Structure 1
Amino acid sequence: MKSTSLILFFFLITSAIQAQEIICSAKDKEIFTTRITALKKEYTPKTTFGETLVFVGKTFLGTPYAAKTLEIGSKESLVINFQGLDCTTFVENVLVLSLMLKNGKDDFDSYTNYLERIRYKNGKLDGYASRLHYFSEWITNNEQKGIIRNITGDIGGIEIEKDINFMSTHRELYPFLKDDKNFKGIQQSEINISQSSVCFLPKDQIKEHEASILSGDIIALTTSIKGLDITHTGIAIRKENGRIHLLHASSKGQVEISALPLVDYLKKIKNNTGIIVNRVL
C-alpha cells in the first residue's frame, strides 16, 4: 500500500510538470542557471526585502528591452526569456529571483512555479485569458495571493473609476484575440477590472509623498489613455541624492535607472496621470 501511494505521488507530480506548458530556449535555461548561481554567491541577507529586489534588479542593468516577448507560440505557454525584457517581465523576474533567494531555492522547477504563480490569475496558467494582462489586475491578484500590498491609499492616493477595455477595442493588435474564446475571456477580465476603483497618487502630489516610497517598491504608471489602466512599471530605488528614481526596462533600449528622479521623469511622459505604489511582503 505504501509503495502504491509513492507511485501515485510521483505520477501526480510528473503529470503536473508535464501539464505546465513552458517555452524556454537552451540559452535562456543556461542564463537562468548562471544568474541564480551568481546571485546566491553574491547575496547577503538584507534589512528589508525591498533591498533584495533592488540588489537583484541591478544585476539586469543593460539587458536589452524587447516588446511582446510573451506573445509567441500557438497557445498560451509559460514563456521564459532572459535575453530581452519588457517592463512587466523585468519586474516579474526580479520578484521571482528575489523570492527564490529569500526562500533558499535555486532549481529551475521552483523558478517556473514562482513565475506561474505571479503571472497568472490565482497562480494557474489556464489559457490566454488567465494571464494578468492589465497591470492593475496583476496588482490586485498578487495582493490577494499575499505577495504584495498596494500602499497607494496609505500615502495620499485617491480613488478613481475608469472603464478598462483597451485590449478588446484594439483586438487587431493582439494575435491571440482572433480566437473568440480568448476574446470573451479578456472582455470578462475588463468588466471585472472596471467594476473596481483604482487608487493612484496623482503626479502633482508625488513629490509631497516621495519620502513614503521605499527602495524596492513596485511602481506602476497610470495613464489618461482611453480604456487603459497602466502603461509602464518598474522598481523604486533611492539614490545617494535622496530622491526616488526608477529601475526599469526602458522602451528606449535596455534595463536602466532613470537619470531623473521619478517626479521629473514622469513630467516627460505624455498622458501620465500618476503612480500606484506596491510593497512586496
Structure 2
Amino acid sequence: MKNPMVKINITALLLFFASMLNAQQITCSPEDKSLFETKIVDLEKTKGTNLGDTISLVGQSFLGTPYVEKTLEVGDTETLVVNFGGLDCTTFVENVLAFSLMLQNQQREFENFTNYLETVRYRNGDLNGYPSRLHYFTEWIRNNEKKGLVKDITAELGGVELEKPINFMGTHRNLYPFLASDANFEAMLVVEKEIAKEKLCYLPQDHIESKEHLIKSGDILALATSIKGLDVTHTGIAIHQPDGRLHLLHASSKNGEVEISELPLADYLKNIKSNIGIIVARPVLKAL
C-alpha cells in the first residue's frame, strides 16, 4: 500500500527547493523586506490619479534616503538586489517605477514588486547574469520602451541626434569588479557594439527652459554627457514645483540623499560642465 505521506513530503520538498532557487536570485535583507511592507501600506494612501502623479508621490516618499553607490554590486554572481536603505540615481528611478506600476495596477505583494523590478532592470526583463543588466541608461530606455513601460519623447520635444561610441565600461574595465570575469567582459563588449548602432537623441541644454512645460511631473530624465564613451551621467524624475518651474527629483551624490533640486532643472544643468542636455522618457501604465 502506498503511503500518502510520502507523496506529500516529496511535494513539500520540491516546493522547498523551488522556493530556495527563487530566493537565490534575490538579495534582500529582513530590514528591507520590513521596509517594503511599511512603504506599500503608506503608499496605498497616497496613490495619484494617473501614473505620472503616482511616480511623483512615490519619488517624494524616498526624500532623505541616503545616496549609496554600487548597491547592486553584491556577491560573486548577479542577483536581483532589493535595497531601500541606500539608493543611487538609477536604483532610485527603478524602485520608484516598480512601486508606481504596482499601485496603479492595484497590486501590493512583494512578489509583484520584484517582478516589476526585474522587468525594468534587465534586458527583456530576464535576469541572466551581470551583462543582462541594463547598465547604460540609453539602452535602459530603449529596452523598456520595447516592453511598453516607457516612451522616449525626446525627439518630439525637439531633440537632436548625436553619433557617439558608447564604450566606457569596455575601456574602463578596472572600475567594474564583475568585469574581472572574461565572460562578463566579452559579453559587455558585444552589448556596447549593439548600443553603438543607435544614435543618441537628446534635448540640448539651452532648449530645456522653453520646452519644460511639455515635460510632465513623473517623466524620467537622463542627463546626457560629453564624457567620452558615456551616454548619460545621471538620472532622476521630473517634478514641477510651486515656483512654476521644472525641477529634478533625484538621488544626489553631491548632497548624499534623495532630494528635489533647489534650482530649476535648466539652471541646475548649467552648473554641470559635461552636461549637453537631457533625454526624456514618459512612463506608460502596463500590468505584468
Task: Pick the TM interval, shorter chain.
Answer: over 0.9
Partner residue of 1:50 out of 31, 46, 52: 52
Inter-CA distance 212–74: structure 2 relative to 1 (3 Å threshold)? same
Conserved? CA contact 2:47–2:104, under 8 Å: no
- Spell out, residue by residue over 1:67-112, the C-alpha distance to the aligned partner (whole angstroms, 9 max, x if none): 0110111100101110000000000000000011011111111111
Output aligned runs, 1:64-143, within 5 Å.
Answer: 64-143=66-145
SS at match of 2:58: helix
The Cα of 1:207 is off from its aligned counterpart by: 1.2
CA distance in 2, matches of 1:109, 1:220: 28
1:30 lines up with 2:30 in the alignment: no
SS at match of 2:119: helix
CA distance in 2, matches of 1:29, 1:267: 39
CA distance in 2, matches of 1:152, 1:14: 46
CA distance in 2, matches of 1:246, 1:29: 28
Partner residue of 2:195 out of 193, 196, 221: 193
CA distance in 2, matches of 1:17, 1:88: 28
One-letter amino acid of the counterpart of residue 222, structure 1: A
Output aligned runs, 1:1-281, within 5 Å.
Answer: 15=18, 18-19=21-22, 21-40=25-44, 42-46=45-49, 48-252=50-254, 253-281=256-284
One-letter amino acid of the counterpart of residue 26, structure 2: I
The Cα of 1:45 is off from its aligned counterpart by: 4.2
| Greater radius of gyration (CA) | 2
The Cα of 1:15 is off from its aligned counterpart by: 4.0
How well do the aligned residues superpose, as a CA RMSD in angstroms?
A: 1.9
SS at match of 1:215: coil
TM-score, scaled to structure 2? 0.91
SS at match of 1:273: strand
The Cα of 1:43 is off from its aligned counterpart by: 2.3
SS at match of 2:77: coil
The Cα of 1:177 is off from its aligned counterpart by: 0.3
Q: 1:4 maps to what in 2?
A: none
Conserved? CA contact 2:159–2:201, under 8 Å: yes
Q: 2:5 maps to what in 1?
A: none
One-letter amino acid of the counterpart of residue 25, structure 1: S
One-letter amino acid of the counterpart of residue 278, structure 2: I
One-letter amino acid of the counterpart of residue 276, structure 1: I
The Cα of 1:13 is off from its aligned counterpart by: 11
Percent identity of paired positions between Structure 1 and Structure 2:
58
CA distance in 2, matches of 1:104, 1:216: 18
CA distance in 1, matches of 2:48, 2:264: 27
Inter-CA distance 144–17: structure 2 relative to 1 (3 Å threshold)? farther
CA distance in 1, matches of 2:128, 2:202: 30
CA distance in 1, matches of 2:277, 2:191: 23
Inter-CA distance 13–229: structure 2 relative to 1 (3 Å threshold)? farther
Conserved? CA contact 2:47–2:57, under 8 Å: no
The Cα of 1:198 is off from its aligned counterpart by: 1.3
The Cα of 1:209 is off from its aligned counterpart by: 1.1
SS at match of 2:69: coil
Conserved? CA contact 2:48–2:57, under 8 Å: no
CA distance in 2, matches of 1:50, 1:184: 38
CA distance in 1, matches of 2:63, 2:267: 21
The Cα of 1:12 is off from its aligned counterpart by: 9.2
CA distance in 2, matches of 1:17, 1:248: 35
Conserved? CA contact 2:138–2:232, under 8 Å: yes
- Spell out, residue by residue over 1:242-275, the C-alpha distance to the aligned partner (whole angstroms, 9 max, x if none): 1000000000210000000000000011200100
Q: Where does structure 2 lack aligned partners over 5 or more consecutive residues?
A: 1-9
